[in-house]
């Protein structure tokens, strides 16, 4: 079992989505879960995970599964030395039970020098892939195999859409 998690924010609310699927190349979800929240923690520079992690944990809990792999919109590591990003914090919160794959749309600092890059479809800009619980190369191969002809895989787009549509 695989999961894609994402969150969205509005002025006084937040939402989180979980899309469950069976294999890297799945073209449709097995199930979808969305939760709305009255508010999320304020953004704290350098500690984004404090805002998003509680939302992702709650929607994953609501899905009542322990996926083998969880894909997030963001980074597992923030630098070559392994500074923990959202994905590393999620991995720790789950007790290391799931591999976490971070798929970021933009380069953070010098990310192109130390993380895997995946170019999909006719895109010119890569996705930046980091992982914990599996190698970055295996995670990149999985992201490359995900369904969809465009830069962003179908089920990652689906989780993003569900999270945004879940806002009141």
Give every CB contact of residue 138 below 8 A, 6+ residues apart in sequence.
131
What are the tens digits of pLDDT across the range 36-63? 998 777 777 777 788 899 999 999 999 9
Q: How confident is the model at residue 136 (pLDDT cuts 50, 70, 90)?
A: very high
The per-residue pLDDT for 39 is: 75
How many domains does the structure of the chain reveal?
A: 1
Weakest-pLDDT range from 3-7, 12-16, 45-49: 45-49
Q: Tell whether the model's pLDDT for residue 11 goes beyond 90.
A: no
What are the tens digits of pLDDT across the range 73-88? 999 999 999 999 999 9
How confident is the prediction for the chain on average, in pLDDT? Answer: 94
End-to-end CA separation in angstroms for the chain: 29
- How many alpha carbons lie under 13 Å from residue 128 in its C-beta half-sphere? 18
pTM: 0.95
What are the tens digits of pLDDT across the range 23-32? 999 999 999 9
Phi, then psi, of 137 in degrees rounded to 5: -65, -40
The per-residue pLDDT for 128 is: 97
Cβ pair 129, 136 in contact under 8 A: yes
Concatenated DSSP letters of the chain: -EEEEEEEEETTEEEEEEEEESSTT-SS-SEEEEEEES--PPP-TT-THHHHHHHHHHHHHHHT---SEEEEES-SBSSTT--B-HHHHHHHHTTT-SEEEEEESS--TTGGGTSEEE--TT-SSPEEEEEESS-HHHHHHHHHHSS-SSSS-HHHHHHHHHHHHT--
Domain holding 125: CATH number? 3.30.2170.10
Q: Tell whether the model's pLDDT for residue 135 goes beyond 90.
A: yes
Q: How many residues in the chain?
A: 168
Query: Which residue range is the domain that position 156 belongs to?
Result: 2-165
């Amino acid at each position: 079992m695989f999961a894609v998690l994402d969150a969205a924010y509005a002025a006084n609310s937040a939402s989180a989505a979980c899309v469950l699927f069976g294999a890297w190349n799945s073209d449709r979800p097995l199930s979808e879960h969305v939760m709305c929240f009255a508010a999320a923690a304020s953004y704290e520079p350098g500690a984004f995970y404090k805002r998003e992690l509680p939302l992702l944990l709650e929607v994953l809990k609501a899905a009542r599964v322990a996926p083998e792999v969880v894909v997030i919109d963001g980074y597992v590591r923030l630098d070559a030395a392994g500074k923990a990003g959202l994905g590393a914090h999620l991995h720790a919160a789950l007790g290391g039970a799931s591999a976490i794959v971070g798929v970021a749309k933009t380069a953070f600092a010098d990310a192109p020098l130390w993380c895997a890059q995946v170019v999909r479809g006719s895109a010119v800009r890569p996705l930046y892939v980091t992982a914990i619980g599996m190698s970055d190369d295996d995670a990149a191969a999985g992201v490359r195999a995900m369904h969809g002809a465009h830069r962003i895989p179908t089920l990652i787009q689906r989780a993003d859409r569900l999270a945004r549509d879940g806002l009141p």
